[in-house]
Amino acid sequence: MHQFIKRHKNDIHGVLSGFDRIRFRGTIRWFGSVRGVMSFLWKIQVRLTEFTTWAKGLTQQIVDASEQIAAAAGRPMMYLNSSSVSKEELALTIAKADRVTEGLVCVFKCVEPCHTFKVGPNAATTKKLELRKIPGKCSHYYFYMLHPRFGLLHLRLQAWLPFTIHVCMNGREWLARELRRQRIGFEQRDNCFVWIKDIAAAQKLANQQLRTDWSGLLDDLRRLFHPVHETMFGKQSLEIYWSADESEWATDVMFQSPAALARVYPGLVRHALAAFGCKDVLKFLGRSPKIQCYRASDIGISSTTRPEGTCIRYRLNRNSLKMYDKQEAVLRTETIINDPRDMKVLRSRQGRPSEPKKWQRLRKGVADLHRRAEVSQKSNERYLDARWRQ
């Protein structure tokens, strides 16, 4: 990356790296499998014949609590019957119309695909009732809020067992709030910055996000919008495990003007499509460039032309690296991690902190989010340096 910046330094205003969109997932480990649910049912002495009634009772508590939260805040609850509606855009429209600057904006209710549990007869073998984990559909509640520290975010709550929670926030929106608090001037367009008065200070603020108590933060948000979790299981205390379902780590090269980026970007696109191959994809994402270790479907290079420009995407399994131009003046390189098991982290084995540290698979849990950011930054840098050498 440093070579790329050095070559184009006269055209570049500055560089900023940090989180873009992060989607967290909250799960109750008891409810992660049929075996876990069966163990919990045995613990609370609920028979399979009583399962549906028991589960519906839990769902009703979530439905009632969600409606009460919206009513208490004086905010609308809306049922959306189409997945084509952009919930974020609709939430922003509502916030603007109602002049909401902080707090709950609205609650959306949707019926969406999910994985859940169902009791049914096993007619083929045991001739008895059994619990099954099946794909299905159920109600989900989306709580959109303008957080005083993090900006626009939402919590998605599955209203049927296993009651999965998703929290989605944007690191750039979070940074914008911090820049305003520090009185550092900037120009923001969409989810990127095209100009920042003090880029070094902004980078320090972005780096501070990595020192967040993620579990504490996410538990606080859960208490706001899913307070019945503490009471819906009676005397049983079920802890929520937080993981990073998807993370986007972006390196934005801010050019002095649209004309400066326009001189560079077409050449970058042509070279990306003509010169880079599967071995380069492995190298960018920090893997050994041994093609024989992978199937053809594991690796891919593609391009997408949008009204605002062209996006180049390099994929390895469920992880990817993208390059695209944003808001006419920003060259963004972005590493997206959906499955961190392809990466490594130096740590002791879980539950054995006294053991020597070894390189092990990166976990989805928020405990390894700092390492995930480090891996993503190196991926972005390798790509930009490779571009410069060509």
What's the pLDDT tens digit per position in 207-252?
999 999 999 999 999 999 999 999 999 888 899 999 999 999 999 9
Share of the chain above pLDDT 90, in %: 72
pLDDT confidence bin for 310, thresholds 50/70/90: confident
H or E stretch covering 78: strand 77-79
pLDDT confidence bin for 291, thresholds 50/70/90: low
Answer yes or no: is pLDDT of 275 > 90: no
Give strand pairing partners of 117: 133
To 10 degrees, what angle do helices 199-208 and 171-181 make? Answer: 120
Say how many C-beta atoms besides its own lie within 10 A of residue 32's C-beta: 15
117 contacts 134 by C-beta, under 8 angstroms: yes
Q: According to the model, what pLDDT value does residue 12 have?
A: 94
Residue with the larger pLDDT of the pair 290 and 66: 66
Answer yes or no: is pLDDT of 152 > 90: yes
Encode 118-130: b = buried (16+ Cβ within 10 Å), e = exposed.
ebeeeeeeeeeee
What's the pLDDT tens digit per position in 365-385?
999 999 999 999 999 999 998
Answer yes or no: is pLDDT of 390 > 50: no
Q: Which amino acid is at 2?
A: H
What pairing do the DSSP bridges indicate for beta strands 12-28 and 165-170? antiparallel
Answer yes or no: is pLDDT of 169 > 70: yes
Q: According to the model, what pLDDT value does residue 387 have?
A: 61
pLDDT confidence bin for 279, thresholds 50/70/90: confident
Answer yes or no: is pLDDT of 28 > 50: yes
Q: According to the model, what pLDDT value does residue 357 have?
A: 82
Q: According to the model, what pLDDT value does residue 122 have?
A: 83
Question: Nearest to residue 324, comparing CAs of 363, 266, 371, 281?
Answer: 266
Cα–Cα distances in Å, from 6 out to 10, 204, 332, 368?
9, 21, 17, 32
Q: What is the C-alpha separation between 214 and 364, in angstroms, rounded?
A: 13
Answer yes or no: is pLDDT of 388 > 90: no
Distance of CA 315 to the CA centre of its chain: 17
26 contacts 167 by C-beta, under 8 angstroms: yes
Question: Nearest to residue 312, comparing CAs of 343, 279, 266, 251?
Answer: 266
Q: What is the C-alpha separation between 52 and 169, in angstroms, rounded?
A: 34
Share of the chain above pLDDT 70, in %: 97
Extents of the domains making up the chain:
2-17+248-389, 24-171+211-245
Distance of CA 32 to the CA centre of its chain: 20
Question: Nearest to residue 211, comparing CAs of 369, 338, 26, 336?
Answer: 369
Answer yes or no: is pLDDT of 308 > 80: no
**Phi, psi dihedral angles at 135 (to 5 degrees):** -75, 140
Answer yes or no: is pLDDT of 154 > 90: yes
Q: According to the model, what pLDDT value does residue 1 have?
A: 63
Tell which phi-psi region holds residue 217, choosing left (phi > 0), alpha (psi between -120 and 50) or beta.
alpha
What's the pLDDT tens digit per position in 100-134?
999 999 999 999 999 999 999 886 777 789 999 99
What pairing do the DSSP bridges indicate for beta strands 192-196 and 77-79? unpaired
Give me the mean pLDDT over the 87-106 stretch: 96
